[in-house]
A and B are shown apart, each in its own frame.
Chain A
């Protein structure tokens, strides 16, 4: 059974930093592209970033480019999102998600974590 478990969320001041983690199990982690999606309170879903399985290719939404960094440790089956220069508008539940196919498949997501809440406020 595929499991994705996020951690690392919390309250941070504007301008601060936070690192989210996503522990994956139940599938061959290194062969899947992995994605972060966020959802502001009471709002819709927003795609944040994607990383390839083993080539290290990364892509970001314009809203986080230059401030967030996605990375992974395939030896530990872990996905990360380093968030710097946080703003109030980054307040959201952050989900990690995988696609239904191995290889480069960033187009849809068949498994999601339970989410980790990041609140940016002074």
Chain B
């Protein structure tokens, strides 16, 4: 299973919006509505921010939103805050009971 493609870095100023893309194929992102996004601060475990493309777990600010078009999923962070600076990983179900992750995007809040 090949990893999903994410940009290595993204940035924005406080209050701005930033969108991170996650590109796969019709065998993963495009084939299932099981895309998730995880936030990981240095030295910490990942935390789910979005699952099933658009769903936000309780406790996750509504500044975080997810979407999908074709084989590309996106995470948008609105109203950027300093604490949003972290690594973000997308994942997708890839069939045959496998999950594939993206390579990760380092989000910098300028």
Interface residues of A (CB under 8 A from B): 35, 37, 44-47, 50, 57, 59, 61-62, 95, 100, 106-110, 112-115
Pick the interface stretch among B12-20, B78-86, B99-107.
B99-107
Cross-interface CB contact of A45 among B47, B57, B97, B101, cutoff 8 Å: B101
Contact in complex: A47, B45 (CB < 8 Å):
no
Contact in complex: B93, A45 (CB < 8 Å):
no
Interface residues of B (CB under 8 A from A): 1, 3, 32, 34, 36, 38, 45-48, 51-52, 57, 89, 91, 93, 96-104
Distance of A47 Cα from B1 Cα, bound (Å): 10
B3 → chain A closest CB, angstroms? 7
Shortest Cβ distance from B89 into A: residue: A45
Contact in complex: A109, B98 (CB < 8 Å):
no
B33 → chain A closest CB, angstroms? 9
Shortest Cβ distance from A104 into B: residue: B97
Ranked 5 nearest A-B pairs via Cβ: A108-B36, A107-B34, A59-B97, A112-B45, A108-B51
